[in-house]
Structure formats: structure tokens, C-alpha cells
Amino acid sequence: MLVSTVLLFLCVFFIILQLKSRRPKNFPPGPPALPVLGNLLTLTQGDLLKGLERLRKPYGDVYSLYFGTKPSVVINGLKAMKEAMVIKATDFAGRPQDVLLCDVFQRKGLIFVDYGLRWMENRRFALMTLRNFGLGKTSMEARIYDELQYTIEILEKSIGKTMSPQVLFHNTASNIICQVLFGTRYEHEDETIKVIVRCFAEIAKISSGPWAMLYNSVPMVRSLPLPFRKAFENVETYLGIVHHIMTEHKKTREPGEPRDFVDCYLDELDKRGDDSTFSEEQLLRSTFDLYLAGTDTTSSTLLTAFLYLMIYPHIQEQCQQEIDQIAEGKDRVSFEDRHKMPYMQAVIHELQRIANTVPLSVVHCTTKDTELMGYSIPKGTTVIPNLSSVLREEGQWKYPEEFNPENFLNDKGEFFKPEAFMPFSAGPRICLGEGLARMELFFIIVTLLRRFKFIWPEDAGEPDFTPVFGATLTPKPYYMKVQLRST
């Protein structure tokens, strides 16, 4: 009798779960979902990006998946992406709040905050502050060039040797954003920056892996001592470090004369008082998001850039010819010089397209009941923008599957940017670090190509272009040889 009762209960339980997983009326189609697990088994096997692309063929540009019993919508292709992220931007500008990263960051900061007044005011302030510190102006150029001198020094010591660029490029990007946020740079062996980098690396690994999927899909496991708890611990470690930095800033700052982002935010707090969406905790968590936006994507793109420039030496040489012509007689190029370098511009944009650093963007969420490509999408539905599908979409690019700067050059050899170029996503949630990243990529690549020649080592074998999928797409570790150029 007891066994029969238990079996009956389990049957009813799974029937209820299956009904919860049934797609609402006029909801996007998708593969059948298992009770409890949904489509988790499908998504955790093999290459996730290729798996999403395979599902596009039978189900179309807008289809649905289940994470546990929760439905999500995957958006593919330029037409659907534009409708969601640009035309109906506010409808799709939310963040799903019942997921690991939002719990880790307590729904504060700039990236993992739901659409609303706190997000809008703090994002507007962050963008304005970054602009005032010289996005597109001389002061930011100076910060980047100052850090580049350390990079150049390390490369000069490696002349004729085989070296790995992974740590070098990550530390370069990290120190640039640290100067913006905290007014300081860290030596590459400094213990503080080592801890910060470790915290970010572990959070990224957890958030893009199966433990995050389990946390997001099966709420009953969240209180268990499973590996996703490490993400919470790492955030607390980071916040402790930045709290100390903020405390030191309070002792040394001159109100109204900000040295960095922390000073600017403290000035804003003085003006607003306690009754606002600004707070010291919001400041701490905002620095986390800005560091995240300004480090991993840039360093991963740089790694992709120099891998391809070594494997395509004729493209590297053509870039250097254009740089030499425009920079002749100058100590350094300026950001405005990019307009005189159509080929260099095309190469950098093509490198960003191929790098596809954040292929699934950051997940969105609908802020109200809405429609997309004729389908009904209820309020609160998780939305996954598949940027890979746009960056390599047939019909949008001359050579969608190849690395070829011609994708950004017209018949006259002039630079142009196709509508499908959206490596930073689009709409109100477009990446906060876009402006800084564009400037960094231009200065770093141009400055290093002007001074050095980068060569694929003779004994390195065939290059492997298959990226490693984590929080960002990044090339597999590789080695390079560096030679001084004579211009």
C-alpha cells in the first residue's frame, strides 16, 4: 500500500512538472523538455554554441528551451535581434532575477540589475563619468599609453624568445581599468591584483558551467554546499579589497577634484545623500561590473588578434604599412588617426567579429508581455541573444566564415560597418565597456604593430583556432615570437 502511494505521488508530481514545462499558447517552438531537467541534458553535452545553431535549423530564428521548468527564448539572426534589442528595446531590457549571478551580486551594480530607476541612474552616471575621464579624449589616451610602456618593456625583453601572451594582455587590460576605477596600477606580481584576477576567473568558470545551470534550474539545491557557493565567497573577497580602497580614498580625496571613478562616485554620494539609488555598496558592486566589462573581453580579443595576425602575416604587413604612413614623424598615433586608417579599422573590426568574445551576451528578460517575430513572449521570460548567429550570418557578410578584412571595406577600399556588427550587443543594455574597449584595441594593436613583428614559432605546429568557451570565448593558450621592426 505504501509503495503504491509513493509511486502514485511520484507520477502526479512528474505530471505536474511536465504540465509546467508545457509551452504557453503562441510561445516559440523548441525541442521536447524532460520533467525537472527540461533541456539541460541537451545543453550540457558537446559544444553549446554549435548546439544552439543546430536547433535554429528545425525551430527557426526564435525558439524556446527549458532550464528545469523555466522557459527561455533564444534569439538568432539580425532581423529578430533588431526587433528585440533595438525596436522593442525596453520590452527586452530586463535581467532574470532568479539566477545565480543576480543572487551573487544581490541585484546591485550595473550589469545584473533589473530594469528600473536604480539601473538607469547608476548606468547613466557610470557612462558620463567614463566620458569625462576621456573616452575619446586625451586623458584616456594618456592612461592607455602609460600602461602600454610596461607592455612594450616586457615584449622588448622577449625579443627572439618564444613567449606566452595570455597573462601579459590580461594584465594590460586589467591595469587600464584599475587606473580608471582606483587611480592606480598593479605590478604583475602584486598580491592584490592576483587575488582580484583569481576571484573573477573562478566566478566566470562557475557562472558558465553546469553548476550555474543546476542552480538556475533546480531551486531546491541552492542551500546545499555545492561548488556554486564559491562564487558567493569570491564576490565577498573582492568587495573586501575594494572596501579598503574606498576607505583610503575617503581619507585622501579632495571633494570636487576627483582622481578616478571611486572619487567621482563619492562626490555624487555627497550631493545626493541617503535618499537615492546611490550607496557605498552600489559603488563597490559597480566597480566589479566595470572591471568585468573592461578586462576579460579586451584581453580575449587581443589574444585573438595577435593569433590571427601571426597566421596571416600579409594582413599584419599591410596594417604596418598603413600605420607607418599615417604615423610618420609622430611619437604616437591619436585616436582620431583611426579615421585615416581604413584598412586598420577593417582589421580591428574583423578581429572583433571573429573573436565573438561574448557570444551569448548577458541574458535578458522581458519587462512586460510582448511579441517577437509573431510569437507571444510573457513578462519575466529569460531571453538569450545568440550574437554568434548575427556575427556570422549568411547574407550579412561577404565572407561570414572567414577571417577577411574585406567584410568591412567597400569597393573603394573605404571602411564601413555593417548593421550586423554587434559584438557588444545592442540597445540600452549594450556593453558598458564598449567605448573603452574600442579605444584600447586601437591603441594597443596599432602601437605594438608599429614597433614589433609578431611571428608564429616554427616548432609550434598547426594553429588551433577552436576557442575555449567560458564567460567569454578565448583562444586556446599559444606562444608567439617577437622581433623589433625597423620603420
As a whole-number percent, the residues of the chain with pLDDT over 90 amount to 64
Please give the Cα distance from 284 to 110 (Å, whole number). 11
Residue 134: pLDDT above 80? no
Query: What pTM did the predictor assign?
Result: 0.90
Residue 378's pLDDT band (boundaries 50, 70, 90)?
very high
pLDDT of residue 470: 72
d(C-alpha 145, C-alpha 152), whole Å: 10
* 3-state DSSP assignment of residue 483: strand
17 band by pLDDT with thresholds 50, 70 and 90: very low
Please state, rounded to an integer, the average pLDDT across all residues of the chain: 89
Report the pLDDT value the prediction gives residue 241, as an integer from 0 to 100. 94
Maximum Cα–Cα distance for the chain, whole Å? Answer: 92
Q: Name the region of 278 (left: φ>0; alpha: ψ -120 to 50; beta: rest).
A: beta
**Range of lowest pLDDT (16-30, 245-259, 456-470):** 16-30
Contacts of residues 396-401 at CB distance under 8 Å and 24 or more positions apart, as own/partner, are 396/78, 396/420, 397/353
HEC assignment per residue over 350-404? HHHHHHCCCCCCCCEECCCCEEECCEEECCCCEEEECHHHHHCCECCECCCCCCC
DSSP state of 482: E
First to last CA, the chain: 89
Fold of 2-484: Cytochrome p450 (1.10.630)
Three cell numbers, residue 236: 565577498
